[in-house]
Structure 1
Amino acid sequence: MVVCGDDGLAHRLAAELRGVYGEQVTLVVPPSERTERPPVVGRARAASAALFDRMVTAAVGRAAGAPGGGSEPAGSVRVVEAAEASETKLAEAGVERADALALVYDDDETNIRAALTARRLNPRLRLVLRLYNRRLGQHIEELLDQAATLATPAGDAAPDDASTTVLSDADTAAPALAAAAVAGTTKVVQADGLLLRAVERAPLRPGQAPPSGLITLALLSRNDPAGADGSEGNGEHGPLLLPDAAAVRDAQSRGTVVLEQVSYAGTSMPAGRGGRGVVPAFGSLFSRRLRWSLAGIVGCVAALAVALTVVTGEHPLYATYMTLLDLFAINEPALHQPLARQILQLLSGLTGLLLLPVLLAAVLEALGTFRSASALRKPPRGLGGHVVLLGLGKIGTRVLTRLRELNIPVVCVEADPEARGLATARRLRVPVVLGDVTQEGVLEAAKVHRSHALLAVTSADTTNLEAALYARSVRPDLRVVLRLYDDDFATAVYRTLRAAHPQASTRSRSVTHLAAPAFAGAMMGRQILGAIPVERRVLLFAALDVAGHPQLEDRTVGDAFRPGSWRVLALDRTPPEERREEPAAEESYEETRAGDGASGWVWDLPDDYVLQKEDRVVLAATRRGLAELLGRRSRERAGA
């Protein structure tokens, strides 16, 4: 396995492949003098390398001490320093002989350029790219897969493993970050247009029956879980992932994590707010007072037309036409006409005079509405129960999109007027406060004192922490979710905030911690739908074909269940020729919901259903369980 990158994701991914999957890894990173990040990010290469060493040590220790892990040593890691992933450096890293290559540079163009070079060097290489632009990523996948097919010599079979997978750390982590700030949606994964949540439930009281129809994903720690404080959990006090029915019955005193479909029941956006697009609804073009004025004038015209019909005996349509001519002062004067007709003409002219300022006001209000629709909105005066989102970078933009898909009111705070997420906020008509969150008055402008939660996802740990501490001083019971880079720092922050505010909810999340398992699983050749943190461990949700997996093929769902390793959750009923390669992993939930609404996935499989080789399933797996599934198949292929 070859991993190329320039930030913490590359180091964590290498540790994941080495410690969990036991793979031989070549890590291509920039030289020391080029890996110093700006002060706003606050990451030095020494800290990143130390974190890498700690992750590798911990992963190797878990691999050696885990049940069934054996004493087989983990794979080795070789480091190649290179300013960029050029053809020479990729060849030095062994791409021509590698099974998979992960390109996780922070720049999309760098990853695409390196992917094109790597595909030329090794057409059978499995590629995993980190791209923020999802639409471009779809085209790149097709292009690189087609290149692999065309590079196959005539008469040879197309390479089965030469697949290209485009992932985004922002998309992988955004659901969990957004869900942590929303009550009832603590952990979320997306599959085929469905949003599934893992809900933490308190231990059952004596005599209380467990809820029916729920899939238990994990048993939480007996003591204080770290999802919680940042520790991994170990021994009998750590979380138990994918327990069997007997373990669930015997652990009534422990909290559980169960799988449900998202059904948000909290505060939603008021009607008429937060619409999509920059074209406002027709009703929002004019104020209520102006609409009443227009209605009054229309009523006056109708009354005058009726009166003219009564006085002259003309047809109502003709009378209405004559009234409109008088209204716009383009009719002949009613000389030598009956007095009633003359009075009606004067009244019509007066109504026409009143119509002119109303029409002018309507034009000005419509222009002002369109101008404000294309500008950043300010928080409404009576807004409350919303989520305050700090930072509109890559992560913040994806989190904002997820929150709005759930129809949750959001107020964004961003210091950079050129941030990439401002266009998304403008399109979604989300209120934005421009300013530095560390300056006094900025969070007050976002109405943090009336908010439901604070979600700090800027790129600077100290900024996130300072904003959280200030928000807590304003409102001690505020729900706070922090994006922190270093796990040790996150642990210390959590414990301190918990001690200072025991009644409040505090969560810390690392984007690389959530994204690395998904990238590692994709390098092993499977599409990862998402990852759900359980305390400081991770459950992966993967979609794979049953064919070629003896642990699944021709077995019932109950027999295929391996406690602590994997569990089949859903079956794809879509005919094989109509299946999509990726079960809507990158599609918007709202766009899918607005489509045909037909999902081919069945999520309530009976235990006696027999899995056939043509089936495709979604399963929940631990990292070690997924490694066992993929590792066995790799060894069988190699032996064949």
Structure 2
Amino acid sequence: MVVCGDDALAVRLAGELHDIYRQPVTLLLPDADAIGPVPPHTTRVVEAEAPDAAALRAAGVARAVAMALAYEDDETNIRAALTARRINPRVRLVIRLYNRKLGRYLAELLDQAAAVAAGQGDGTPADSATVVLSDADTAAPALAATVVAGTGKVLQADGLLLRVTERTPQQRREATGTGLCTLALLSSTTDDPAGAEGSDRSGPAGPQLLPAAMEIARSAQRGAVVLEAVSHTTPAAAPGRLAAVGLPVMELFSRRVRWALAGFTAAVIAIAVTSWITTGDHPVHAAYITLLDLFSLNDPAIGDPTERQLLQLFTGVVGLLLLPVLVAAVLEAFGSFRSASSLRRPPRGTADHVVLLGLGKVGTRVLARLRELGIPVVCVEEDPEARGIALARSLRVPVVLGDVTQEGVLEAARTDRAHALLALTSSDSTNLEAILCARTITPDLHVALRLYDDDFATAVHRTLRAAHPQALTRSRSVTSLAAPAFASAMMGRQILGAVPVERRVLLFAAVDVAGLPHLEGRTIADTFRPGHWRILALDTTDPADRRPDLRTTRLDGRGHVSGLLFDLHPGHVLGPADRVIVAATRQGLAELLGSGGAVPPRSAGRAGPS
């Protein structure tokens, strides 16, 4: 693996590739001392001012399996990508670009160049895909998952959030029947809570990855790592909502206008009833005459009884008073509809929502992800021309325009009744100040803030956690959020993520069954190999409609119905057109994908996973 960059993302990515995936890494940096301490476990460090052809060759791109271009400048990454593709058409490229549209075109161009080069070569297939990532794409899923999943490790697959949580033996007993499956048994026990923490050994002294059903049943005194599906219940829509435009009726007119209209309606009804009683007319005719008098459309009651003349005069006065109220109501209704077509204010009674501060690149992606999950959101943005304003308008998400550090802005976003707060502005100081202000309003509020510097993020997290131990606090640096996604992309599109279990790791991957002798033509029960891999879900989506990368999500906020089926029958036979989600060890995944290992015989009596 070759990692090129000029900031902390490159260093952290190198560490991720080595620690999680056990890959040899070469770092290409302009100045290693200026960036910071380079992990000593990397294979080597090459210093070069620019990633030109000579520098890339010196870094070993010609023999590399994958290369990441993580420079802050888009143009530098594009130049290096074109050069690397020319040197090694088979290398898998992961490129950091802010411009998503340009990135899509660049990926198509580089993939086409790799296909042409492969056609002119020896015909050996190569995984030379090009993946373009941005800070917004990599940060948004983790930030959105923070307010949904809390402290658990989160994976994304086909629009679903899967949470991997540790359970103590007592929690295992109390949560019987919950969770999708048990992924690992921890080294800790009831008598020894710490256990053999950090042990890489299998068996009783260390964690057991992907245990068999009998092992799970016999290990009631050990902690476990469990896979759960995360869901968020969306509150029912408030009554009185106009279906056509989604505008609450109670917000169409102000309280004063509503009371005035109610008073005039009562007065008209009283006049109509009095007219009916005094004149003896039919009630409908009496109401009709009253309305004519109200709008000064009736003839003067000359020669009529005194009661009729007094009623006409009183009705005319009421009509004169009604005119300004009607004008005010029309103006308010016009303003409400105009606001409905632009930005909404937080409705009355808003509660259990997420307050999102900042609608820049990252905030826009997080907003789309939260709405896709059905989570109610109230946004706060200072710039009315920010990138995410248009998306918030189209999704009918309430927005408070103002500086989050100013008095009353957080209150206007109903922070006191919110479930969580995400501070995603481009300023570290603004995010920190907003979090501190929010904690003064609601001390136990769940908060997550985006910080650029990893050390600063760690310090902020520890301080806030110490000051508010009862509340969930998460501080995230851009590099810590981006590195796992870049590392997964470098390992291939099939990798959904990796979860550390003490000092071992489980990989989650989307795998096509075709051509894999360990899976094709076998039942779900036959494919399970304890300690190596197990099938978690089957993608039931039609092959023509499948998304190539299950980690991707919609960016327009619209819902997506997942095709993943987790409740699998042990006797289901996998066909060549199937795609499955598997959990595997490093060695198990390599063996499953054909890197080695003998194929076990089919056995109808093998026990299925649990």
Map Cα deviations across residues 22-81 of structure 1 (whole Å, 9 max, x no partner).
Answer: 55545444x33xxxxxxxxxxxx647441x415x36xxxxxxxxxxxxxxxxxx345352
User: 142, 145, 151: which one pairs with 1:179?
Assistant: 145
* Corresponding position of 1:428: 397
* Corresponding position of 1:261: 229
For residues 276 and 218 of structure 1, the distance between their equivalents in structure 2, rounded to whole angstroms, comes to: 48
Task: Number of aligned residue pairs: give it.
Answer: 585
The reply to whether residue 617 of structure 1 matches residue 584 of structure 2 is no
Map Cα deviations across residues 155-204 of structure 1 (whole Å, 9 max, x no partner).
Answer: 99796634333444544443443333446784443322333333444432
Structure 2 vs 1, CA of residues 543 and 475 (structure 1 numbering), >3 Å: closer, same or farther?
Answer: same
Gaps of at least 5 residues in structure 1 are 33-44, 58-75, 635-640
Gaps of at least 5 residues in structure 2 are 598-610
Contact 1:182/1:453 (8 A) holds in 2: no
Structure 2 vs 1, CA of residues 558 and 11 (structure 1 numbering), >3 Å: closer, same or farther?
Answer: farther
For residues 136 and 315 of structure 1, the distance between their equivalents in structure 2, rounded to whole angstroms, comes to: 72
Map Cα deviations across residues 560-608 of structure 1 (whole Å, 9 max, x no partner).
Answer: 3344554321112334344332347222595134xxx4x4332112334
* TM-score (norm: length of structure 2): 0.72
Of residues 15-24 and 152-161 in structure 1, the stretch that sits farther from structure 2 once superposed is: 152-161
Contact 2:510/2:581 (8 A) holds in 1: yes
The reply to whether residue 211 of structure 1 matches residue 177 of structure 2 is yes
Q: How does 1:473-488 map to 2 (within 5 A)?
A: 477=444, 479-481=446-448
The reply to whether residue 102 of structure 1 matches residue 88 of structure 2 is no
Quote how far apart the aligned CAs of 1:215 are.
0.9
User: 252, 256, 262: which one pairs with 2:220?
Assistant: 252
The reply to whether residue 9 of structure 1 matches residue 9 of structure 2 is yes
Map Cα deviations across residues 302-339 of structure 1 (whole Å, 9 max, x no partner).
Answer: 9999999999999989x96x98776655x584587966
Cα RMSD (Å): 5.5
Contact 2:136/2:365 (8 A) holds in 1: yes
Quote how far apart the aligned CAs of 1:119 are.
5.1
Contact 1:219/1:254 (8 A) holds in 2: yes
Find the residue that maps to 1:592 and give its secondary structure: coil
Structure 2 vs 1, CA of residues 380 and 216 (structure 1 numbering), >3 Å: closer, same or farther?
Answer: same
Structure 2 vs 1, CA of residues 408 and 18 (structure 1 numbering), >3 Å: closer, same or farther?
Answer: closer
For residues 491 and 253 of structure 1, the distance between their equivalents in structure 2, rounded to whole angstroms, comes to: 34
For residues 500 and 426 of structure 2, the distance between their equivalents in structure 1, rounded to whole angstroms, comes to: 21
* Corresponding position of 2:607: none
Contact 1:28/1:82 (8 A) holds in 2: no
User: 514, 518, 538: which one pairs with 1:547?
Assistant: 514
Q: Which amino acid aligns with 1:180?
A: T
Contact 1:378/1:433 (8 A) holds in 2: no
Of residues 625-634 and 518-527 in structure 1, the stretch that sits farther from structure 2 once superposed is: 625-634
Find the residue that maps to 1:611 and give its secondary structure: coil
Structure 2 vs 1, CA of residues 605 and 102 (structure 1 numbering), >3 Å: closer, same or farther?
Answer: same
Find the residue that maps to 1:129 and give its secondary structure: strand
Find the residue that maps to 2:3 and give its secondary structure: strand
For residues 334 and 133 of structure 1, the distance between their equivalents in structure 2, rounded to whole angstroms, comes to: 73
Map Cα deviations across residues 339-372 of structure 1 (whole Å, 9 max, x no partner).
Answer: 6998887677555434421232123323543566
Structure 2 vs 1, CA of residues 564 and 449 (structure 1 numbering), >3 Å: closer, same or farther?
Answer: farther
Of residues 190-199 and 500-509 in structure 1, the stretch that sits farther from structure 2 once superposed is: 500-509
Contact 2:158/2:553 (8 A) holds in 1: no
Q: How does 1:443-522 map to 2 (within 5 A)?
A: 452-453=419-420, 455=422, 477=444, 479-481=446-448, 503-507=470-474, 509=476, 511-522=478-489
Find the residue that maps to 1:364 and give its secondary structure: helix
* Corresponding position of 2:94: 128
Contact 2:516/2:594 (8 A) holds in 1: no
For residues 574 and 600 of structure 1, the distance between their equivalents in structure 2, rounded to whole angstroms, comes to: 5
User: 39, 58, 61: which one pairs with 1:53?
Assistant: 39
Q: Which amino acid aligns with 1:10?
A: A
* Corresponding position of 1:561: 528
Q: How does 1:208-357 map to 2 (within 5 A)?
A: 210-211=176-177, 214-219=180-185, 222=188, 233-235=198-200, 241-264=209-232, 271=238, 280-281=247-248, 284-291=251-258, 293-294=260-261, 333=299, 349-350=316-317, 352-357=319-324
For residues 333 and 274 of structure 1, the distance between their equivalents in structure 2, rounded to whole angstroms, comes to: 42
Identity of aligned residues (%): 60
Q: Which amino acid aligns with 1:612?
A: G
Q: Which amino acid aligns with 2:95?
A: L
Structure 2 vs 1, CA of residues 600 and 149 (structure 1 numbering), >3 Å: closer, same or farther?
Answer: same
Find the residue that maps to 1:53 and give its secondary structure: coil
Q: Which amino acid aligns with 2:251?
A: S
Q: How does 1:27-66 map to 2 (within 5 A)?
A: 27-29=27-29, 31-32=30-31, 46=33, 48-50=35-37, 52-53=38-39, 56=41
Quote how far apart the aligned CAs of 1:482 are.
5.6
* Corresponding position of 2:538: 571
For residues 386 and 540 of structure 1, the distance between their equivalents in structure 2, rounded to whole angstroms, comes to: 33
For residues 246 and 533 of structure 1, the distance between their equivalents in structure 2, rounded to whole angstroms, comes to: 23
Find the residue that maps to 1:428 and give its secondary structure: coil
